[in-house]
């Protein structure tokens, strides 16, 4: 099959029988027929159609033109550049707000398969398994989400059940059979949980013992697998909620109720040493950040565009403090672009022949954006100010009071309708439930900001020692 069309993708999603719950009810009808799933699936379908569009094909198709770009294993710096352009092209279609566009987890699968020898160190079969998972995924153009966060009660991955037994909370291996392993427990924060072909499960770095240490992929409609989605954000029209009406992804708790995972689906198993090296040695951490930061660059471009449109519409650019705020956003955008270019320029081939962008540059960028994104949102809020508070709706403009709106709240150079269409876009990006979820997502996308900084500090240990030696060398020169 290779590259699917949007229609083929949606047809496949309609057949998916995932056990999805939302607001206390199981979703019984096809996901393509019910909100909020229908809209975001449609948005993803458009991404697949772009791959077939002659205008974008050279960027979005793989080198052999038989797969989409996310399944290409980068071997050269030119491959990285192509991946950057493709990632940004897809991200632009969704304003950078879609955290689980197909290329995100596809990238993880691709990089792990490129490093199949890493998994073979424990057992040659595990290397063959990840390779088979990858080949099937690219041939069928599958979509994935992933889960790796352990739930905990009082920081423990298990809890007494009242009868003296320890009941698993975090998902753990409870039995090994000839067919595979049986796991029980839960994982957190599967964005688009239940609405992708498959689920990638990787161990949390905070595992307690080897019972919690396994990596695999399984179909989203595997027996015993349940996705408990948070309530959807309120949606109105595309005028009132232009982003949440199209790109609401959902986030789910994943429950594994004695789920059987076949052995041929397992690629990492009870091996602490491999787990500790998984993200860095394979290059997966670099590529996860590379995809995410390129998405964030596009998102920042849209934020700057929204800010400039507000400034123009409200006719306030003559004020220096407004120019300064736009300048802050420009600095953020240029810094992000610079981090990515730096990672590409310093990319090196790893032990598995994969051209890996420089991790230090990307992790520094991830930390920078965690701190910077809230300020970008604040700037847009400051620019829109009270216009965000009493913004009329699409129904107001369709009613008999529309002439009042055009008389009293129009822009200097635009109609009231056009002015508040922009205002609603800015509100949805910054102030609605959707917008505040985006804020929290970018704050914690790559984990606790303090831990990210600490990790970056550790990565720089050798470089810091070299720099410190310069100080000693300087004093030696003075003697």
- The answer to whether the CB of 37 falls within 8 A of the CB of 31 is yes
Burial class from Cβ neighbours inside 10 Å (0-12, 13-18, 19+) for residue 12 reads: middle
**Residue 430, marked binder:** no
- The answer to whether the CB of 281 falls within 8 A of the CB of 115 is yes
Q: Which residue, among 287, 352, 253, has the nearest Cα to 103 in the 3D structure?
A: 287
**Beta strands 144-147; 198-201: pairing state:** parallel
- The answer to whether the CB of 275 falls within 8 A of the CB of 207 is yes
Q: Which residue, among 231, 252, 235, has the nearest Cα to 23 in the 3D structure?
A: 231
- The answer to whether the CB of 121 falls within 8 A of the CB of 132 is no
**Residue 450, marked binder:** yes
Contacts of 378 (CB under 8 A, 6+ apart): none
**Residue 318, marked binder:** no
Rg of the chain over all Cα atoms, to the nearest angstrom: 24
The CA distance from 241 to 429, in Å, is: 9
In DSSP terms, 226 is beta-bridged to 19, 255
**Residue 238, marked binder:** no
**Residue 191, marked binder:** yes
- The answer to whether the CB of 336 falls within 8 A of the CB of 412 is no
- Bind-site residues for FAD: 191, 448-451
- Bind-site residues: 191, 448-451
């Amino acid at each position: 099959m290779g590259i699917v069309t949007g229609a083929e993708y949606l047809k496949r999603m309609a057949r998916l029988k995932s056990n999805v719950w939302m607001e206390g009810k199981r979703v019984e009808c096809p996901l393509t027929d019910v909100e909020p799933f229908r809209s975001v699936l449609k948005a993803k379908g458009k991404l697949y159609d772009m791959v077939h569009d002659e205008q974008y094909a050279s960027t979005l198709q793989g080198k052999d033109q038989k797969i989409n770009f996310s399944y290409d294993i980068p071997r050269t710096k030119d491959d990285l550049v192509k991946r950057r352009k493709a990632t940004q092209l897809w991200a632009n279609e969704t304003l950078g707000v879609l955290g689980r566009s197909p290329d995100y987890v596809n990238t993880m699968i691709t990089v792990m398969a490129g490093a199949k020898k890493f998994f073979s160190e424990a057992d040659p079969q595990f290397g063959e398994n990840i390779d088979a998972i990858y080949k099937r995924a690219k041939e069928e153009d599958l979509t994935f989400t992933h889960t790796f966060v352990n739930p905990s009660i009082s920081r423990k991955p298990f809890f007494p059940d009242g009868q003296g037994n320890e009941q698993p909370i975090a998902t753990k291996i409870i039995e090994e059979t000839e067919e595979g392993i049986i796991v029980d427990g839960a994982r957190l924060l599967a964005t688009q949980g239940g609405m992708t072909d498959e689920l990638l499960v990787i161990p949390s770095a905070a595992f307690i013992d080897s019972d919690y240490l396994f990596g695999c992929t399984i179909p989203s409609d595997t027996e015993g697998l349940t996705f408990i989605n948070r309530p959807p954000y309120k949606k109105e029209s595309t005028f009132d909620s232009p982003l949440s009406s199209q790109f609401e992804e959902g986030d789910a708790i994943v429950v594994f109720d004695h789920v059987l995972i076949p052995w041929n689906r397992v690629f990492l198993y009870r091996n602490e040493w491999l787990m500790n090296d998984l993200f860095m040695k394979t290059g997966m951490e670099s590529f996860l950040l590379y995809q995410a930061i390129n998405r964030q660059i596009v998102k920042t471009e849209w934020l700057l565009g929204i800010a400039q449109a507000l400034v123009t519409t409200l006719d306030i650019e003559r004020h220096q403090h407004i120019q300064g705020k736009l300048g802050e956003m420009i600095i953020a955008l240029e810094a992000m672009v610079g981090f990515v270019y730096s990672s590409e320029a310093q990319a090196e081939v790893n032990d598995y022949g994969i051209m890996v962008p420089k991790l230090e540059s990307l992790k520094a960028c991830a930390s920078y954006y965690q701190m910077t994104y809230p300020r970008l949102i604040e700037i847009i809020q400051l620019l829109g100010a009270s216009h965000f508070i009493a913004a009329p709706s699409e129904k107001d403009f369709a009613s008999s009071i529309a002439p009042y709106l055009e008389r009293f709240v129009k822009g200097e150079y635009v109609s009231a309708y056009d002015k508040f269409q922009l205002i609603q876009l800015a509100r949805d990006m910054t102030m609605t439930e959707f917008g505040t979820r985006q804020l929290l997502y970018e704050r914690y996308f790559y984990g606790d900001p303090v831990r990210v900084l600490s990790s970056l500090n550790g990565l720089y240990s050798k470089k810091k020692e070299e720099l410190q030696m310069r100080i000693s060398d300087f004093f030696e020169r003075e003697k």
